[in-house]
Amino acid sequence: MSLQPANIKDREIKKEILEVIKKWDTIIIHRHERPDPDAIGSQCGLAEIIKNTFPMKQVFTAGSSTGDLSFLAEMNPPVKEDYENALVIVTDTANVKRIDDKNYALGKKWIKIDHHPLDDSYGESEWVNTGASSCSEMIADLWLTFPDELKMNTEAARLLYGGIVGDTNRFLYEATSSYTMQVAAELMKFSFSASALNNRMNVIKPPVAKLMGYVLENFSVSNEGVGHIIITQQTLNQLNIEDKDTNGIVSLPGSIEGVKSWGVFVQQTDRHYRCRLRSKGPIINEIAKQHDGGGHPLASGANARNEDEIDQILDEMKEISKNWTPPKQ
């Protein structure tokens, strides 16, 4: 294959990771809590590649149920004893506290594979590529870097394609590069139906459709171009939805004219607010870090104790957004 990854400086760490994988008979792959398609795609896609390449190895996928994303994959969880002589690989997780299933600490050796800005350094081997659109793109890149040593199969290709589609919002986000598109094209050569997968990922439940209407009706935008919506527990109950169902509306405000950055604030059962922050240009991850969060420059998560802290977050977003202008088309 003649593809050249967007970031070729990390070939050494990719080679190191491949050599470590070769040496271990038991491999347990973790990802972050509240998984999205990229977390599941990178975790389970890597597991499929390892199983297909090294059929004698034991490969487990750890973490909570995938819920509404079970059409992508179900977990193959280890038991505690499996960690006694196991390699642990964590994908798509910037910091230790977000790793799903705390038994990861029982592993004998750790590897971190992630595309978020570096928050925590953990693991003896660490591959962080913030230029990648998704962790799934990184796993596909690992295969494309060593195509004679790693064996892709249809299931792995389906999972990794789904992860890329999820984290790029169907190739609409700024992080989508020409290499992202090349990787997606290589994965589409396998015999899964990309259109069927795209359609499945587009499906929304009727209550979520009602939530979309609620968001569009109640969303407000400041003079600085900062939009926000606050969704209380009362609203969730009235619409018969849960916090996890609100994932489907996070990108919706970005289609509203004049919005530069925005926040979706969802009240949790303990009354604090989960904050999903997004931007078309102003850098928001530093704001998220100041409010018990972090993430990408244009897509981050945080937490707010109350509506006063939400107001503080919005004021900080207004400050960085007021002088930002979109690039010329």
- Which segments of the chain are extended strands (E)? 26-30, 58-61, 87-91, 109-114, 125-128, 220-221, 226-231, 261-267, 273-279, 294-295, 299-304
What DSSP state is assigned to residue 222? -
Residue 2 covered by a domain: no
Residue that has been written with the tokens 């798509």 in this structure = 92
CB 274 within 8 A of CB 291: no
Between CA 129 and CA 42 the distance in angstroms is 14
Final residue belonging to a domain, choices 144, 170, 201: 201
- Degrees (nearest 5) of the Cα angle 54, 103, 162? 55
pLDDT, tens digit, for every residue of 195-219? 999 999 988 889 889 999 999 999 9
Asked whether residue 152 falls in the same domain as residue 85, the answer is yes
Q: Which domain holds residue 281?
A: 206-321
**Among residues 181, 201, 221, which one ends one of the domains?**
201
Residue 1 within any structural domain of the chain = no
Q: Are residues 244 and 197 in the same domain?
A: no
> Does residue 172 share a domain with residue 79?
yes
Q: Are residues 169 and 65 in the same domain?
A: yes
Instruction: Return the pLDDT at 8.
Output: 56
Regarding whether 282 and 219 lie in a shared domain, the answer is yes
Write the pLDDT tens digit of every residue in 3-51: 655 455 688 999 999 999 999 999 999 999 989 999 999 999 999 999 9
Last residue of a domain, one of 201, 235, 261: 201
Tokens 């190739």: give the residue.
171
Tell whether 122 and 55 lie within a shared domain: yes
Question: Quick check: 28 and 82 in contact, CB under 8 A?
Answer: yes
pLDDT value for 204: 85
Helix, strand and coil percent figures for the chain, each rounded to 5 = 45, 15, 40
Same-domain pairing of 159 and 224: no
Contacts of residue 303, Cβ cutoff 8 Å, sequence gap at least 6? 272, 273, 274, 275, 291, 292, 293
pLDDT > 70: percent of the chain: 97
Q: Model's pTM, two decimal places? A: 0.85
Residue 4: inside a domain, yes or no?
Answer: no
Q: Confirm whether 160 is domain-assigned.
A: yes
Instruction: Give me the CATH number covering residue 220.
Output: 3.10.310.30
pLDDT of residue 80: 95
Give residue 327's pLDDT band: very low, low, confident or very high (50, 70, 90). confident
Q: Do 93 and 107 share a structural domain?
A: yes
In a domain, 250, yes or no: yes
Q: Is residue 269 part of a domain?
A: yes
The confidence band for 296, taking pLDDT boundaries of 50, 70 and 90, is confident
Q: Using pLDDT thresholds of 50, 70 and 90, give the confidence band for residue 67.
A: confident
DSSP for 90-129, please give it. Answer: EES-SSGGGBSSGGGGG-SEEEEEE-S------SSEEEE-
Is 313 domain-assigned? yes
Q: In terms of domains, do 152 and 226 share one?
A: no
Long-range contacts, 4-7 (Cβ 8 Å, 24+): 4/179, 5/141, 5/144, 5/145, 5/179, 6/131, 6/132, 6/177, 6/178, 6/179, 6/180, 7/129, 7/131, 7/132
The arithmetic mean of pLDDT across residues 166-177, rounded, is: 90
Residues 137 and 107 in one domain: yes
Dist CA 169 CA 275 (whole Å) = 19
* pLDDT in the model for residue 274: 95
Our count of domains for the chain comes to: 2
Q: Do 126 and 272 belong together in one domain?
A: no
Whole-angstrom distance, CA of residue 97 vs CA of residue 115: 17
Q: Identify whether 3 is part of a domain.
A: no
Section 139-167 average pLDDT: 97
Statement to judge: residues 236 and 91 lie in one domain: no
Q: Is the pLDDT of residue 247 over 90?
A: no
Please report, for the domain that includes residue 79, its CATH number.
3.90.1640.10
Largest CA distance in the chain: 60
Cβ neighbours for 180, distance < 8 A, ≥ 6 positions apart: 6, 132, 133, 134, 137, 164, 168, 171
